[in-house]
Structure 1
Amino acid sequence: MFFNKKTSPSNGRIQAEPSEKALHGASLVREAWWLGLVLVGAYLAVILITYSPQDPSWSHMASEGASVDNAGGSVGAWVSDMLLYLFGFSAWWWVVLAFYGMWLVYKRLGSTISERPFLLFNLVGFVLLILASAAFESGHLLAIPAQFPLTQGGMIGNALDTLLRSMFGFAGSTMCLIILMAIGFSLFTGWSWIMMTEKLGAWVLAAHAWGLNKYYDWQDRKAGKQVEIKRDEYIETERKRTEDRPPIEIKVPELEIPKSERVLKERQTVLFESMPDSALPPLHLLDEVTTTVELQSAETLDFTSRLIERKLVD
């Protein structure tokens, strides 16, 4: 019993080592797939761009020693000619497949779960997409300004379009191909058309709200600018009016204080005369009235009057 307890951790470590090696090996395989898909996608794009119908290829024979204009060499000339012969311009979906597969593998470089069913699901969608695209290109698109070894849409697209037209007619085949392309694209990319529509609607509403806010801000700034212009004009008019106004003349009034009979009487009091019966103190105890009064300067009065006018206007 004690022997089993001591050896169980070592057995667990021994069993864990192969799994870690297997995970590391699977990660290396995914990296190899990623690099291979990068190479395939770039090579397909180059050979399709530099395709020349004069190169010796799958559908065109040339004399021995003829030059090859395709940047991918003789192999590139053969592969590009075959893809364009079979699918027409829709052969570019193979480039999309390579780069999209590269992106999927890149996202799963550190994954430990086998996701082969999902990848096969994408491949089924791709087959449906490229077939429907080639058929739609063959009979439902205007002429594409490009050179093809056979015809627009290729041999497969032409055959599929002819079959669907014989079964559903032109309008029916058009609707069928559009639906098939939508289904294939959704299966291939994993994007939901409903979610894409909702996101598009949310973007449209957000753009509309943003535009309304910008419009209202512009209206507010415009109204504020007009008010500012009117206020500046009014201030300039008031400034000129106050500058042209004649200065204020301040006339100092002459103070004439009448003499009080009581004061004169109390000043002429006779010695030893009895005190008055009134409880009030005598007036001669008060200070004499000064004939000079301190007045505000003309500048102070002018400033105060203008300030009062402005406050009343506001």
Structure 2
Amino acid sequence: MANARKPLGRVPLGRESVRAPSERSRIGRRPSVLAERFREGWGVLLAVAAAYLLLSLFTYSPQDPGFNHAGPAVAVYNMGGWLGAYAADGLLMVFGLAGFVWVLWLAFHAWNALTLQDGPSFHLQVVTLPLFLVASSMLLYVFEPLPNWPVVGGGYGFGNGGLVGKFVASQILPFLGHVGGVMVMTALLVLALLWFTGWTLAEVRASCVWVYQVAMVTGIALGRWCRRMWARMPEQFDLPLSHPLPKRGRPVVVKDDDEDKPRRPRASEKQAALPLLVEGQFVLPPLDLLNEPKEQEGGESEEALQQNARRIEAELRNFGVEGVVTNIRPGPVITVYELEPAAGVKTSAIVNLQDDLARAMSALSIRITTIPGKSVLGIEVPNLKRQFLGLRELLDTDAFEHDGGKLTVALGVDTAGIPAFTDISKMPHALIAGTTGSGKSVAINAFIISLLYRLTPEQLKFVMVDPKMLELSIYNDIPHLITPVITDPNKAAAALNWVVKEMESRYRLMSEMGVKNLAGFNEKFEQLQAEGKMPTKLVQVGFDLNTGQPKHEEQPLATKPLPHIVVIIDELADLMMVAGKAVEFSIARLTQMARASGIHLLVATQRPSVDVVTGLIKANIPTRISFSVASKIDSRTVLDSMGAEALLGKGDMLHLANGSNTLQRLHGAFVSEDECAKVVTYLKSQGQPQYVDDVFKAGVAVVPNGKGGGSAGGDEMGEDGDPEDLYAQAKDVVLREGKASTSFLQRALKIGYNRAADLIDKMEGEGLISAPNHVGKREVVARR
């Protein structure tokens, strides 16, 4: 007993050790060594026989020789040879696919012999093996043969169950029915399996539990390993419910093949030195002046995105809002989770929870908005690590290179990372707002650089106004400037008045040429120039001395095509404080009329209050771009809706396009001061600017009485006009109307309180009016 060999192959699988029947049958006896060697050899032979039979059955071919098909000896495709072909044909003909049971039977006995275990008794095998074969054949017969199985049943059409299965089914199914026959045969099959193997139901149950536990432990360990490996890989995946994270590669730049108006050649990116320029030729800046795109790590992992989606659903559920995240769209800066609200849930109920959701998600801010064309809400959650976007990545794209617009600028990328461009001529004017550090000045630099990369000084001119004297001064002396960068608000008001007069002059030229816009004017001018003609107009130069009739002569209407003019105001608030009425009047006229003349305004401010962005200015600027602002009121002032107060800063913006009422969230491209300096140096090396001397001679615009909107505290007459002329007007009004007060002069002359009070005091000092009485009323002493 002490030296009894512990049986192999049977492992306790449940909580209690269940002793195998073979082990119980062997307790108390030990076979001899010779018998063990004999059984091991017998086990090897049975294992070989099982493998041979399995190979023969798997390589069965109907063309092989069989019991009812004779062929030449060389025509044997079965890998078991002639014997294997006959064995496979016989088993498949009689038992069908149940012929593989013989392989299991041989393998079972081989295992018992090799492990020195006693199998079932001979009498038990005589009963269980036929029962197992019959039940399995009948069960296999009721299923249709697989379409790719090579003629089961040995080529006799007996189906999956062979001759035995067909016969048993024909006898049983008419009495028990299809379902009943399957149930009975399944029970017999399980019973035969238990009897044949000697297993008990307790052992089977314990084995199933053990297999389940092993599978669970293995699956969990494998899942953890896969997550660790996935975390080390670069992020590039396909979400089951979303679009893949876009990858911004470096697109191939294709030359523009516009034959009608060929663009000036762009300098090669590999060019080290400035080429020798032919007189009149201008080479656009090369892209290598801008920094190369940086290699960046992948964004949020798929697991993190799915966890955030579940957290959003759970947090909304805590506030009594039911909904399901149906799609996840990761981007370079934010990730959009598309939420399908439950029936009966109002959109406002979800939008009002964005601050609470941001707190629960530990996010800087979260913006919830509707998605046009979909029934879902977009929940925009900032990524833990935002990707860097350089301006070169946008300019070095086919979309920018082949864009048909002349004044195309790079806005940035949308929430999915797709580049976004716009044509300033279609804006046609833009209001840009944002607090300090929101990316407003960087965006203006990106617009300027985009234009400098597309148009030559003959095609584009700038008027830049920078009251802060910091942002735009770097562009001084580039060939595209009409005047040096303007830092004095009074000069800025005069420059805007000159632009208005230039607009009126252009419209007169277009009227003489019979065209409607700048593009038509330049096209007709080029046609006349190609024909060797110049556009002219008939001008009276005097009178004939003999006849006294007017004398006319033809003078050139224009000597060259007219360039586009882009007016950039970096800070509107400073101009409105100093020369509010004049600036407001000029901006209003330009935004109302200047589009067809090729003049466009980009007006920026960091204080989008109603006294800066007046109703008159706002009503005529259809395109709005808002970066992060301080409050919902500022957002409404710029965009007519909330949302900009929840932006992330550093280039995160909301874009309201001309003719659209839908806000588009974009992430602006970054261009450094060093990159701007390189481009400016390159442009300066190709020529000097040709400044217009008459810009400041136009003076400040005179606003007609009753015209214009509210003022920001200054007035053009009081601050910039002639004080003596203003006093003469005030005296004339007082003497004509017979009354004098500060408020009366404010209304009559459209001036501020301080200036009106000074005029009243001056009239009192000259004796024109009396001092105020006990109720503050003055009498007009002088008469006209």
Q: Is the 8 A contact 1:135 1:161 kept in 2?
A: yes
Q: Is the 8 A contact 1:59 1:82 kept in 2?
A: no
**Which of 41, 45, 50 does residue 59 from structure 2 map onto?**
50
Q: Is the 8 A contact 2:120 2:196 kept in 1?
A: no
d(CA) in 1 for partners of 2:100, 2:200: 23
- 1:175 correspondence with 2:178: no
Letter in 2 for 1:28: R
Q: Is the 8 A contact 1:134 1:157 kept in 2?
A: yes
- 1:38 correspondence with 2:47: yes
Q: Which consecutive residues of structure 2, in runs of 5 or more, have no partner in the other structure? A: 1-29, 225-306, 312-357, 363-784
Q: Are the structure 2 counterparts of residues 201 and 99 from structure 1 closer, same or farther at C-alpha, using a change threshold of 3 Å?
A: closer
The structure carrying a bigger helix percent of its residues is: 1
- 1:127 correspondence with 2:136: no
SS in 2 for 1:55: coil
d(CA) in 1 for partners of 2:211, 2:95: 35
Q: Are the structure 2 counterparts of residues 78 and 199 from structure 1 closer, same or farther at C-alpha, using a change threshold of 3 Å?
A: closer
**Which of 61, 69, 85 does residue 60 from structure 1 map onto?**
69
Which structure's relative contact order is higher, taking Cα pairs within 8 Å and 6+ residues apart? Answer: 1
d(CA) in 2 for partners of 1:116, 1:198: 21
Q: Which residue is equivalent to 2:101? A: 93
Once the two structures are superposed, what CA deviation does each residue of 1:163-199 show, in whole Å capped at 9, x if it has no partner? 1123323232111111111111222223334543465
Q: Deviation of residue 159 (structure 1)?
A: 0.8
- Return 124-133 or 41-50, whichever deviates more: 124-133
d(CA) in 2 for partners of 1:44, 1:107: 22
Q: Are the structure 2 counterparts of residues 29 and 157 from structure 1 closer, same or farther at C-alpha, using a change threshold of 3 Å?
A: same
d(CA) in 2 for partners of 1:40, 1:79: 12
Letter in 1 for 2:99: A
d(CA) in 1 for partners of 2:84, 2:195: 30
d(CA) in 2 for partners of 1:119, 1:189: 12
Q: Deviation of residue 123 (structure 1)?
A: 5.7
Q: Are the structure 2 counterparts of residues 104 and 203 from structure 1 closer, same or farther at C-alpha, using a change threshold of 3 Å?
A: closer
d(CA) in 2 for partners of 1:105, 1:116: 8
Q: Deviation of residue 66 (structure 1)?
A: 4.9
SS in 1 for 2:168: helix
Q: Are the structure 2 counterparts of residues 43 and 123 from structure 1 closer, same or farther at C-alpha, using a change threshold of 3 Å?
A: farther
d(CA) in 2 for partners of 1:195, 1:187: 13
d(CA) in 2 for partners of 1:117, 1:189: 7
Once the two structures are superposed, what CA deviation does each residue of 1:67-87 show, in whole Å capped at 9, x if it has no partner? 111111111111110000001
The structure carrying a bigger strand percent of its residues is: 2
Q: Which residue is equivalent to 1:71? A: 79
d(CA) in 1 for partners of 2:40, 2:211: 37
Q: Which residue is equivalent to 1:23? A: 32
SS in 1 for 2:199: coil
Q: Is the 8 A contact 1:125 1:186 kept in 2?
A: no
**Which of 136, 143, 146 does residue 145 from structure 2 map onto?**
143
TM-score, normalising length: structure 2: 0.23
- After TM superposition, the structure 1 = structure 2 runs for residues 177-256 of structure 1, keeping only pairs within 5 Å, are 177-197=185-205, 200=208
d(CA) in 1 for partners of 2:206, 2:40: 36
Letter in 2 for 1:33: W
Q: Are the structure 2 counterparts of residues 141 and 121 from structure 1 closer, same or farther at C-alpha, using a change threshold of 3 Å?
A: same
d(CA) in 2 for partners of 1:156, 1:42: 24
The sequence identity of aligned pairs, in percent, is 25
Q: Deviation of residue 204 (structure 1)?
A: 6.2
- Return 36-45 or 26-35, whichever deviates more: 26-35
Letter in 2 for 1:87: F
SS in 1 for 2:32: helix
Q: Deviation of residue 142 (structure 1)?
A: 2.9
Q: Which residue is equivalent to 2:610? A: none
- After TM superposition, the structure 1 = structure 2 runs for residues 258-277 of structure 1, keeping only pairs within 5 Å, are none
Letter in 2 for 1:74: W
Q: Which residue is equivalent to 1:105? A: 113
SS in 2 for 1:59: coil
d(CA) in 2 for partners of 1:101, 1:116: 7
d(CA) in 1 for partners of 2:98, 2:107: 15
Letter in 2 for 1:105: A
d(CA) in 1 for partners of 2:82, 2:62: 12
Q: Is the 8 A contact 2:109 2:119 kept in 1?
A: no
Q: Deviation of residue 129 (structure 1)?
A: 1.4
Instruction: From the CA coordinates, give the structure whose radius of gyration is larger.
Output: 1
